[in-house]
Chain A
Amino acid sequence: DAKTTQPPSMDCAEGRAANLPCNHSTISGNEYVYWYRQIHSQGPQYIIHGLKNNETNEMASLIITEDRKSSTLILPHATLRDTAVYYCIVRGNTDKLIFGTGTRLQVFP
């Protein structure tokens, strides 16, 4: 599976959009981009995934560049409860998820 690179930490004001970047320059054609988050002391929680088209659900939007070498997770209106570690994962034809170190997002009032 391709490796991902994320900034270790980010801050965001409550009510503003949080844009979390992820680089996956070695991604191959059949690999999906997944995002999970882990709120303190809880198990990871699925957010969204995509292959090459942009995706949106009730939690977030996922923007994947045309060359698929990077993506951005967007939380349109961040709240204090969105404070968590966000993991970007590239997953191929496997059941396995390989978690990196993620981005620690701090939402402040």
Chain B
Amino acid sequence: DAGVIQSPRHEVTEMGQEVTLRCKPISGHNSLFWYRQTMMRGLELLIYFNNNVPIDDSGMPEDRFSAKMPNASFSTLKIQPSEPRDSAVYFCASSLPRGLEETQYFGPGTRLLVL
């Protein structure tokens, strides 16, 4: 299995531009999680989906952030407009239903720099 796939791995953009981060979960996993990691705030959960449905988006910082999961094999996290304070590493993770397996598998992350 290829594991969780994220793209792009690195993104540099200018303030005000739209940024779209992509994630392909492990095949067969029905839960998908988006995290953000910064030096100041550590690793934070932004939003997670079960069976393509958003369950908890309480970690999404503001309306500039949106996430979608149109099907079981693809999710996007969009920032529009982007700001320098959005610079961070964004991780996607996936898992099987809790009770079948307890492990979240993380992707390699997308390093975002907003100038």
A-to-B contact residues, CB < 8 Å = 32, 34, 38, 41-46, 49, 87, 95-101
Contacts and interface: CB of A to CB of B under 8 A. Distances in A.
Interface string B30-66: 0101000000001111001010000110000000000
Contact of B102 (A32, A45, A101): A32
Nearest to B91: A43
A45 B107 CA distance: 10
Interface of B: 4, 31, 33, 42-45, 48, 50, 55-56, 91, 93, 95, 98, 102-109
Contacts of B102: 32, 34, 46, 49
Contacts of A44: 43, 91, 93, 104, 106
B108 A97 contact: no
Contact of B105 (A46, A100, A101): A46
Main secondary structure of the interface of B (DSSP, over half): strand
A100 B42 contact: yes
Interface centre among B4, B31, B43, B109 (most CB of A within 10 A): B43
B55 to A, nearest CB: 7
A101 to B, nearest CB: 6
A96 B57 CA distance: 11
Contact of A46 (B44, B55, B104, B107): B104
Given A95-B55, A96-B56, A42 B108 contact: yes
Contacts of A95: 31, 33, 48, 50, 55, 95, 98
A46 B50 CA distance: 20
Contacts of A87: 43
A74 to B, nearest CB: 19
Nearest to B3: A43
Given A42-B108, A46-B105, A99 B56 contact: no
